[in-house]
């Protein structure tokens, strides 16, 4: 049991990491094209106080967007907003508290946002955690599953009506889900999404990233079928030198440091794919994609399983208390 549920997910995830590093060894991060001004558009970026989220928020604000940074670190949020507003003249950044590990907090955030009657043109589901030791949220969910996926699932669904009203043909609203190559190592344990039978932080993390890709494809099908001017894409930033790796084992941390300086991407480089998906003209009306280095790539074969997509959607609705559409 231990071999299958702990060691195998670990090996699968590190194999994915090695493949990404080999790619990054010989391929540079793509350079963002010149992006048009985004004046009047409103964006929400989760986890935008540091790392790739901060770089995404800063760049979107520099294009003229009103950016709402959603996060659970108030002091960090205040510093991030001050840095961005000191740098940009046309756009605006603000911080609003939201804890993705609390469904109540997500609902409160959405309620407060809607009360302001603002439009919403871009939602960047960026926040995430990795390799957290076994831990449950106050809602009773496995930590990776709720923070990386389930909280974003609820947030997106609660904001869908605003996104639909804000978009129009030729200027669609956009949803960006931050996945990663580790989703290739992911296995959806639909009978044990909270990993209570035998915990593996590697397996839990990979599962949460696979869930985001499955969610992306299923949601895009619904939006397309309804004729709504909203697109949703999953993005893969590559291996980026951020605080995500703080939970690695001590040996892995030691080995990672010299490698990261040479092969890992900077947060700004990693954020470029989210920025591209959020603002590039080339992505207008293009949804249901897995994007890496600005290219549409094939995600894992299991991510295209329509029955699994529908099953995860239905289960997720039950878990967060939404009526299935």
Q: Render pLDDT for 223-256 as a digit per residue (tens, 0 to 9).
A: 999 999 999 999 999 887 666 555 655 545 555 5
pLDDT value of position 197: 87
Kindly state the average pLDDT of the residues 243-272. Answer: 66
Distances (CA, A) of 111 to 12, 18, 117, 123, 138: 40, 43, 10, 16, 21
pLDDT value of position 111: 98
315 pLDDT more than 80? yes
The tokens of 14 are what? 């590190």
- Which residues are identified as catalytic? 205
Question: In the CATH scheme, what is the code of domain 36-320?
Answer: 3.40.50.720
Phi, psi of 24 (to 5 degrees): -70, -20
The tokens of 188 are what? 């959806």
| CA 166 to chain centroid | 21
Q: Which residues contact 302 (CB under 8 A, 6 or more apart)?
A: 186, 187, 188, 210, 308
Q: Which residues contact 34 (CB under 8 A, 6 or more apart)?
A: none
29 pLDDT more than 90? no
Judged by DSSP in three states, 231 sits in strand
pLDDT value of position 1: 56
Quick: pLDDT tens for 56-67: 999 999 999 999
* CA end-to-end distance (rounded Å), the chain: 38
H helix runs in 167-237, sequence order: 201-226
Quick: pLDDT tens for 182-191: 999 999 999 9
The residue ranking higher by pLDDT, 8 or 77, is 77
The tokens of 159 are what? 């904001």
Distance, CA of 83 to CA of 96 (rounded, Å) = 16
Distance, CA of 62 to CA of 43 (rounded, Å) = 12
pTM of the model: 0.93
Tell which residue, 62, 73, 120, 117, has the closest CA to residue 98.
73
pLDDT value of position 83: 96
Phi, psi of 85 (to 5 degrees): -70, -25
pLDDT value of position 45: 98
Going from N- to C-terminal start, the domains of the chain cover 36-320
DSSP code of residue 50: S
Query: Residue 178: beta bridge partners?
Result: 235
Q: Which residues contact 139 (CB under 8 A, 6 or more apart)?
A: 101, 102, 103, 146
Strand order in the sheet with 66-71: 92-97, 66-71, 42-46, 122-125, 173-178, 230-236, 290-292, 295-297
């Amino acid at each position: 049991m231990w071999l299958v549920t702990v060691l195998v997910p670990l090996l699968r995830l590190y194999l994915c990491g090695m493949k990404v590093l080999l790619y990054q060894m010989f391929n540079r991060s793509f350079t963002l094209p010149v992006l048009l001004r985004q004046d009047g558009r409103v964006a929400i970026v989760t986890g935008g106080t540091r790392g790739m989220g901060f770089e995404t928020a800063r760049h979107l604000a520099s294009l003229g967007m009103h950016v709402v940074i959603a996060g659970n670190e108030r002091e960090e949020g205040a510093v991030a907003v001050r840095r961005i507003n000191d740098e940009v003249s046309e756009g605006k950044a603000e911080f609003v508290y939201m804890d993705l590990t609390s469904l109540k907090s997500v609902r409160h955030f959405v309620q407060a946002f809607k009360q302001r009657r603002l439009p919403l043109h871009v939602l960047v589901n960026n926040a995430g955690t990795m390799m957290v030791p076994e831990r449950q949220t106050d809602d009773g969910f496995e930590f990776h599953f709720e923070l990386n996926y389930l909280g974003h699932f609820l947030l997106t669904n609660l904001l869908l009506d605003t996104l639909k009203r804000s978009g129009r043909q030729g200027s669609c609203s956009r949803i960006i889900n931050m996945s990663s190559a580790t989703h290739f190592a992911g296995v959806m344990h639909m009978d044990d999404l909270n990993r209570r039978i035998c915990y593996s932080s590697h397996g839990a993390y990979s599962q949460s990233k696979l869930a985001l890709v499955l969610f992306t494809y299923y949601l895009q099908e619904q939006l397309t079928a309804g004729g709504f001017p909203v697109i949703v894409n999953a993005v893969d930033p590559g291996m980026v030198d951020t605080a995500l790796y703080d939970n690695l084992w001590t040996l892995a941390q030691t080995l990672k440091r010299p490698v990261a300086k040479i092969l890992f991407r900077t947060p700004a480089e990693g954020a470029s794919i989210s920025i591209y998906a959020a603002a590039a003209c080339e992505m207008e009306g293009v949804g249901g994609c897995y994007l890496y280095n600005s290219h549409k790539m094939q995600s894992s074969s299991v991510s295209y399983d329509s029955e699994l997509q529908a099953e995860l959607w239905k289960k997720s609705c039950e878990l967060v208390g939404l009526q299935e559409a």
